[in-house]
Amino acid sequence: MKTLLLLALLPLAAYAEPLELPAEKLKYAPVKGALAVPLSQDNAYFRNPANPAADYWSLASFYIPQRNGASCSSASVAMALNALLNAGRRRGDADENIAEAALVEKVSGVKWKELAGEAGHEGRHGLTLAQLAAASREALAAYGGAGYTVTEVQVGTASAAALESFRRALSGSERNPDDVLLLHFVQDALTGAPGGPYAHISPVGAYDEKNRRVLVFDVDRQWYEPYWAADTQVFRAMAVKTKHFGHGGYVILRRNAVRP
């Protein structure tokens, strides 16, 4: 019986062996010495009771994939609005989650429905950083988020001061359950995917300040799961200037402090 049990386990052990692939074929390939780490391989941060990670748990409840190759912005904002407006709230049976398709129908100021659709608008797909901030403001207003502000920060130069400002924003967001930070970055600068640059948008799921790692809640679910990346690497990925989107950066959706 023991022999049979051992033989039954052998295929599972063999299957668990890491794949031996050249770097250019890895799903998370190293980029300039930095390596993104999938959440399924490292979730120790969330098992530490010292890390409440409010943003992570709110966003995880509403984690959705982008519907097509151009809709990362609408998927990200839908997640953010659900996390801010619906997570932990007593809701009636008629209260729906904020859906990506309904969201772009309500926001018309930046031609979001067209830019996040497969057809595009005037030969373009996706949102710039400024358009992401504008769409977020209009979306909050449409869904009753009048008490929220939207702050846009472009990363035009990869300076030490700008990096420290980004780190402060990450640390503040990790401690504040009433805000969500959205990244506008070049995805391949984190994942090593060939053929880029790929301008992309996704929420920050958490910030491990001790180890200076950002959990990117990537809405590109066709290819990725959430992954950890060094904050310096994320910063550089936002600073990349692309032809159609310019420099990236980050947008913070935050509930205003209630004055006594």
Q: What pLDDT does 221 receive?
A: 95
- Indicate the SS3 state at residue 134: helix
Q: What pLDDT does 88 receive?
A: 86
pLDDT mean over 120-135: 95
- In DSSP terms, which residues pair with 184 in a beta bridge? 201, 249
Q: What pLDDT does 20 receive?
A: 61
pLDDT mean over 216-233: 97
Q: What pLDDT does 23 receive?
A: 60
Kindly tell me if the per-residue pLDDT of 15 is higher than 90.
no
For the chain, strand residue ranges (E) read 37-38, 148-154, 179-186, 199-208, 213-216, 227-230, 241-242, 246-247, 249-255
Q: What pLDDT does 202 receive?
A: 98
Confidence of residue 139 (pLDDT cuts 50, 70, 90): very high
Kindly tell me if the per-residue pLDDT of 7 is higher than 60.
no
Q: What pLDDT does 91 receive?
A: 87
Helix, strand, coil percent content, the chain, rounded in steps of 5: 40, 20, 45
Confidence of residue 74 (pLDDT cuts 50, 70, 90): very high
Q: What pLDDT does 158 receive?
A: 83
Topology given in CATH for the domain delimited by 28-255: Cathepsin B; Chain A (3.90.70)
Phi-psi region of 27 (alpha: psi -120 to 50; beta: other; left: phi over 0): alpha
Query: Residue 75: which of 85, 84, 87, 65 has the closest Cα?
Result: 65
Kindly tell me if the per-residue pLDDT of 4 is higher than 90.
no
Kindly tell me if the per-residue pLDDT of 10 is higher than 60.
no
For 189-217, write each residue's pLDDT tens digit: 999 999 999 999 999 999 999 999 999 99
pTM: 0.89
For 25-44, write each residue's pLDDT tens digit: 788 999 988 999 999 999 99
Task: Output the CA angle 52-55-57, nearest 5 degrees.
Answer: 70
pLDDT mean over 97-103: 94
